[in-house]
Structure 1
């Protein structure tokens, strides 16, 4: 049996999804070296609608166990 993974819910005072996405991007840039954080699975939700989530990153599988690092609605090929 595998151990469960844990989710950290980090509330903010931000009032728009664009601001929240920008914050998640800044956190990824500054904390991307922390291997315990899976930024590819980052989602956003409104405070009172936490079951409705918006993905931030594409996270599509690439070669050699890598995943796309671009935002979810990117144009062009995954990188």
Structure 2
């Protein structure tokens, strides 16, 4: 039997520019990521009028021990695992 299907929710919001939109979207993804069904590492953001252009929010690089980097995409610091309180 196949596992559960994955879905994507689209929730429009306003922001003064793309940088602020990415920051707000990361916050939303981290908050929703407390739910075990949500995968914040795969979160992206796109302009409402061009939803085919997705910007990755988190690095998600595979690290040792099977963990993934949970820092913002294009970060300059070394990759890190952010402890989850799940």
Do they superpose with TM above 0.5? yes
Paired residue for 1:60?
61
The answer on whether the counterparts of 1:44 and 1:53 sit within 8 Å (CA) in structure 2 is yes
Deviations 1:25-59 (A, max 9, x none): 32244333212111111111111111111111101
- Aligned equivalents of 2:12, 2:61: Cα separation in 1: 26
Q: How does 1:37-56 map to 2 (within 5 A)?
A: 37-56=38-57
**2:65 aligned counterpart, secondary structure:** coil
Give how far 1:10 is off: 1.2
Cα distance change of structure 1 residues 34 and 8 upon mapping to structure 2, 3 Å threshold: same
Within 1, Cα distance between the matches of 2:16 and 2:40?
21
What's the counterpart of residue 4 of structure 1? 5
Structure 2 unmatched runs, 5+: 81-86
Whole-Å separation in 2 of the counterparts to 1:5 and 1:60: 21
Runs of 4+ in 1 over 6 A off after TM superposition: none
Task: Tell me the C-alpha RMSD between the 2 structures.
Answer: 1.8
More strand by share: 1
The farther-off stretch of 32-41 and 48-57 is: 32-41
